Amino acid sequence: MHKLKITLSERLNTLRHFWKGEPHVWDIGCDHGDLGLSFIEEKVDSIHLVDPSSAVFESLKEKVTLLDSYITEPEVFIIHQKGQNLKVQSFNNLIFIAGMGGKEIFEILQELLPQLDSSSSLVISPHRKVLELREELGKMPLILKKELVIFENEQFYPVLYLQKGEGERVGPFGKEIWEGETGKAYREHQLINFSRHQDPLSQEFCAYLSALND
């Protein structure tokens, strides 16, 4: 067999760096599966690639057959279903949920959180409905460990690193995420976008971002 070569983008590499040695890795909405499969030679027990697309499912099956025959661990599971219906192990998971809208991520978290304990961590990166998602996250038993933004291919990607438990909750607008040069550029980008909206949440958000410039 040929060894499977995985080359990650800067964005996916950034997500991957949140791994703290958890033995069970879940890539929900995995698409090409590269993020999850990049752990194939790490000391993990299992990799779970989750996606509802039949085309993705078939492509992943072919890709996994390219793994070196000498690799017997970790186990790789390809799960053909929506993340909203997923059953996970209750402990020692690192769960990636990226590349989808805030509404979908919220629905997945509603089902996942009751299954998890504090030994599991989540890395989420919503593409749409970010404010609405943050509002819901703030009501959940989640500790915000880190937040940042990545700029790649002319797009901004917010990232939140979370753990189940009691502690600093997710704030409605973010703090760390606006720091540094990328954070400042993201702030200006969001100000331009949300100033076009008249709803109270957007107006409050713009006022918050404007105050950061003072």
143 in Cβ contact with 118 (< 8 Å):
no
Query: Cβ neighbours of residue 143 under 8 Å, at least 6 residues apart?
Result: 162, 163, 164, 165, 166, 167, 168, 169
Let me know how long the chain is. 214
Residues 75 and 141 in one domain: yes
- pLDDT in the model for residue 2: 45
Q: What pLDDT band is residue 71 in, cutting at 50, 70 and 90?
A: low
Whether residue 2 is contained in a domain is answered as no
Residues 153 and 198 in one domain: no
Q: Find the CATH number of the domain harbouring 85.
A: 3.40.50.150
Mean per-residue pLDDT for 68-97? 87
Sequence letter at residue 184:
K
Residues 106 and 151 in one domain: yes
pLDDT tens by residue, 15-31: 999 999 999 999 999 99
pLDDT tens by residue, 122-179: 999 999 999 999 999 999 999 999 999 999 999 999 999 999 998 889 999 999 999 9
In total, how many domains does the chain have? 2
Residues 190 and 87 in one domain: no
Sequence letter at residue 9:
S
The range of the structural domain enclosing residue 126 comes to: 10-173
Q: Is 6 exposed, middle or buried (0-12, 13-18, 19+ CB in 10 A)?
A: middle
Residue 175 DSSP code? S
Residues 33 and 127 in one domain: yes
- Tokens found for residue 26: 């879940």
Distances from the Cα of 86 to the Cα of 26, 77, 94, 115, 161, angstroms:
11, 13, 14, 10, 20
Whether residue 84 is contained in a domain is answered as yes
Residues 118 and 191 in one domain: no
Residues 202 and 107 in one domain: no
Average pLDDT over the chain, rounded to whole?
A: 92
